[in-house]
Structure 1
Amino acid sequence: MSNFISIINSDIPVLIDFHAVWCGPCKVQAPILKEVKHELNDGVKIIKIDVDKNPALAAKYQVRGVPTMALFKNGKLLWRQSGVLQKNDIIGVIKQYA
């Protein structure tokens, strides 16, 4: 948990992908996130959190469904949304808070 706190305290936007290995929509989201990272490069950190391996973290951020994206900057939760999101939508949100 302390490692997570240090990650989200970045002054670069940090997109957390709460996911699970058994989740079909999560498998759809994964290559989209690779495209986002490729396009924004150092403008964002993308971290994948498996909710089954990190139940305390999922509970802390009230993740009830996967995939759920959460955007942090300087330790603050700026935005979150559940469901599969398209590349341009994710990039738009990240740029809005960058």
Structure 2
Amino acid sequence: MSKFGEILNTPLPVLIDFYTEWNESSLTMHNVIKDVAAVLGDKARVVKIDVDKNQELANALRIKSLPTLMIYKQGKMMWRQSGELDANTLINMVQEQL
């Protein structure tokens, strides 16, 4: 989990997508997350975390459904939601933290 702290240690907003390769909604979000990252460019970080490979972190953050999306700013969680969202909604949510 120390790497998770390193991910959050940035002045930029960080959008995190918790997913798995076997969850259909997570797979649907892959392209959405790519689009969001492309639009945001260097204004924010976009990180994908596979909960199957990071179960300790997923348990600590109480990830119960997938995908779960979070926005952190300066190490503090600013927003969290589970389920599919469209790119424009996610972009607007991150831009509110700029």
List aligned pairs for 1:13-28, cutoff 5 A: 13-28=13-28
SS at match of 1:64: coil
Q: Over the residues paired in the alignment, what is the CA RMSD in angstroms? A: 0.8
Partner Cα distance (1:9, 1:72) in 2: 10
Give the length in aligned residue pairs: 98
Task: Tell me the percent identity.
Answer: 39
- 1:16 is displaced (CA, Å) by 0.8
Counterpart residue type for residue 94 of structure 2: I
Unaligned residue ranges in structure 1 (runs of 5+): none
Partner Cα distance (1:73, 1:8) in 2: 7
- 1:37 is displaced (CA, Å) by 0.8
Partner Cα distance (2:34, 2:44) in 1: 11
Q: Please report the TM-score for the alignment, with normalisation by the length of structure 2.
A: 0.96
Counterpart residue type for residue 78 of structure 2: L
Question: Within the alignment, does 1:94 sit opposite 2:94 as a pair?
Answer: yes
Match of 1:61 in 2: 61
Partner Cα distance (2:9, 2:62) in 1: 19
Partner Cα distance (2:18, 2:4) in 1: 13
Q: Please report the TM-score for the alignment, with normalisation by the length of structure 1.
A: 0.96
- 1:4 is displaced (CA, Å) by 1.1
Counterpart residue type for residue 23 of structure 1: N
SS at match of 1:97: coil
SS at match of 2:41: helix
